[in-house]
Each structure stands twice: as C-alpha cells, then as structure tokens.
Structure 1
Amino acid sequence: MSSTGSLERLLKLLFRLPGIGEKSARRLAFFILQQPPSFAQELAEAILSCRMNLHPCPECGNLTEREVCDICADPLRNRVSLCVVETAEDLLVLEEHGIHQGIYHVLGGRVSPLDGEDIDPSSLDRLRRRVEELGVREIILALDPQVEGELTAQSVLSALSGLKVKISRLSYGLPLGGSISFADRATLHAAMESRTTIKDEP
C-alpha cells in the first residue's frame, strides 16, 4: 500500500473495528482527514474520555460514568421485571426504542464453545443475588436467536435454578441468526410483547 506512515497506522486501526473492511476504513480515514483539525481533536478526546471515564455499573453491568447507572438509580423503574442482555450495546438499543420499562442485567459475554467464550461466573452470581434481593417476579431473556443465544440462555437458567420466578424469552419475531443490536423498533416491540414463557413461577 502506498501511503504515509501516519495514514497507514490510521487505516490499520480503523480496519480493526468490527464490520469495517478495507474500503470502509479508507473512506472513514479520508473523511476524517477532510475535516477541520478541530474535528479530529474532538473525536480523539471523545474516544479517550469514554475509555477513561466509562465503567460497568456494579449492579447491572451497564456502562456509566457515575457510581451506579441512571437506570439502576431511577426509583420509577419497574424493579420486579428484569431483562437479561449479553452486552451494554443490546441494553442501549432496547432503551432507545423504549421497549422495556424495568431494570436490566448485562451478562458481559455469551456462551460460545467454538470461540472459547463463556460468561463470567460472578455475573451470574450477581444476577441471582439481585433477583432474590429485589423480589424480581419476571426475568426476560433478550438474547440473540442463535446457537450461542440458546447456550447462554441455558447457563442463565442453570444459575437461577430453584428460584420462584417466571422466566420468559423474546419471541422469534427476531430473525433466526439475527442480532438485537441491529433490529428495528417494530421488530423488538413485537418480540417483547409476544415473548414466550420458558419457566413459570412455581
């Protein structure tokens, strides 16, 4: 590739972003270079600020700059309905669309043997503790309709074994093999409204 060292470094870094190919990385790089220097400075500062200031909420795992996230701190949230998601990105998508009025629990991972991925046991322990302490009556598993989502759901069910709580899962209105992060509001709303019970309260 014929480019300067600085440009080559930028292209390589952009190429490492998920969903970004060589052409997209080049397009992004030249877009940044065509902006005023203040734009690059602001972009760099915003990225660094997020990296330095954001941390997982100690209660739910959502990203926050405060001691606990705004959702956990909100006294008006429905605390008897808890939605389990894999990532903070999934939580953000559900919140942006106003799909869930309760609280959340971010697993921070998924079960994927082929990729060597698993859920941190401490996240599952924290989920069980929250369900017991908050008196949660329904847990909604908002997991992607893929094999990994099925395996993740089974891990959650195992961690919550013996608890008297209803557990439901988003309907397969979500396309098989799809991702919550890319679903639109109508699809997510339909999936939430037609969720299926996979474990009823005894």
Structure 2
Amino acid sequence: MALAKALEDLIRLFERFPGIGEKSARRMVLFLLQQPKSFSESLAECIAKCNSLLHPCSRCGNITDEDPCSICCDPFRDKSTICIVESVEDLITIEQAGIYNGLYFVLGSLYSPLDDEEIAPQVLERLVKRVSEEEVKEVILAFSPKVEGELTMNLISKIMEPLPVTVSRLSYGLPVGGSVSFADRTTLHAALEARTYIKRGEGRQ
C-alpha cells in the first residue's frame, strides 16, 4: 500500500528516535494525526522553543535554558563531589532518583578506540580544569558497566592521577551490560553507596 509522501516522510523521521521501529513510528504518527490541530501546533511550538532556548551548560554539559544550569548554581549542592556521566539522560536519571546531592559533568560520549569513538580533547581539558580549579575532593565515575564504560573509566582515572582527588566508581549493583539511564532508584542508590574507590586523594580532606 502506497502512503502519502507527507505521511511517509513523517514516519521516517519518527523512526530516527532511539528504540523506535517502523511499526512504532507509524503508530505514533497516526496517533498524532488523530489529535486536534492545536495539539500538533503546540508540539511544533515546543520543539522550536527547545531548539532555540536550550543549550549545554558551560560548566557541566547539562541541557539548560540558563548558564550555568540550576544544578551548578544551587548553593545547597555538595561542591566537593563531581559525578561524571556519559549523557544528559544519565544525569536526569540519577537526579530524579534523589540519591545524590553533588555536581555533575557530562562527557557526551564514551571512549571506544576499537569503534573509533574518542572523547573530544576539549571536553577532557575542561574536566581537568574544573577539577583542578574547584574544591573537588571526589570524582565519581557513573558509567554503564560495559566495555566502553570500563575503557572510559580507565582513561579518566589516568587523567586524574596527578590531581589530589579521590576517584571512585559505581559498584556492580548495576547489571553488566546494563545502562545507568534504565536503572531503578534502588539499584542506583545501592551502586552509589557501595561505590569502589579507584584512587584516594591527598590534600583535599
């Protein structure tokens, strides 16, 4: 059955969402078309507003409409710890679980040399600069327990060696091959509380 080109184009765009196949994309598009016109207009307006107003926080990489973001500006956050995560999605998951009250740093990618995936040098430089200049006592590595996560932890641990900070990682309460963004609150809390120390810092007690 031939679909109208406009309909097919929209379905193809929805297929680009993570975890969305052709059937799911078609179902979502047909649902959208069944809604009042005002719904589509509001959706388009919200998307346009997000594109124009939202940007990465210059300090941590979180998505925000102000710079620095509300987490970095919060005077009640524990500024002695920085939790390093792969993505904003992981940051939001940890934040919504309500188990951590420190600051964050979003890498944006993981280190995987076999797949030619590198972490941008400027991102690592910004991380080192921030840890060096601020009163950070502990860096928590919160990556999904998979090969890329392990390689990234090793990379950051080496970068942190000259700095007087403690480096720790989430415990293996997270399932191997799992994802931080899909972990429930209890699992995340257990992994954070039982974190393993890779390097003990000196001088910032």
**Superposed pair shares fold, TM > 0.5:** yes
Q: How many residues matched? A: 202
SS of the equivalent of 2:42 reads: helix
Write the deviation string for residues 75-105 of structure 1: whole angstroms up to 9, x where unpaired. 1110001100011111111111112100001
User: Do the aligned partners of 1:145 and 1:172 also contact (CA within 8 Å) in 2?
Assistant: yes
Residues 129-140 of structure 1: pairs in structure 2 closer than 5 A: 129-140=129-140
- CA shift for structure 1 position 167: 0.7
The 2-side partners of 1:73 and 1:33 are apart by 41
Alignment partner of 1:159 is 2:159:
yes
SS of the equivalent of 2:127 reads: helix
**How high is the TM-score relative to the length of structure 2?**
0.95
Aligned to 2:194: 194
The 1-side partners of 2:154 and 2:37 are apart by 50
SS of the equivalent of 1:135 reads: coil
Residues 162-177 of structure 1: pairs in structure 2 closer than 5 A: 162-177=162-177
**How high is the TM-score relative to the length of structure 1?**
0.96
- CA shift for structure 1 position 159: 1.9
Aligned to 1:150: 150
The 1-side partners of 2:80 and 2:44 are apart by 40
- Runs of 4+ more than 3 Å apart: none
The 2-side partners of 1:113 and 1:51 are apart by 32
- 5+ residue gaps, structure 1, are none
The 1-side partners of 2:59 and 2:166 are apart by 21
Aligned to 1:24: 24
The 2-side partners of 1:75 and 1:61 are apart by 18
The 1-side partners of 2:158 and 2:41 are apart by 48
Change (3 A) 1:48 1:116: farther
Aligned to 1:13: 13
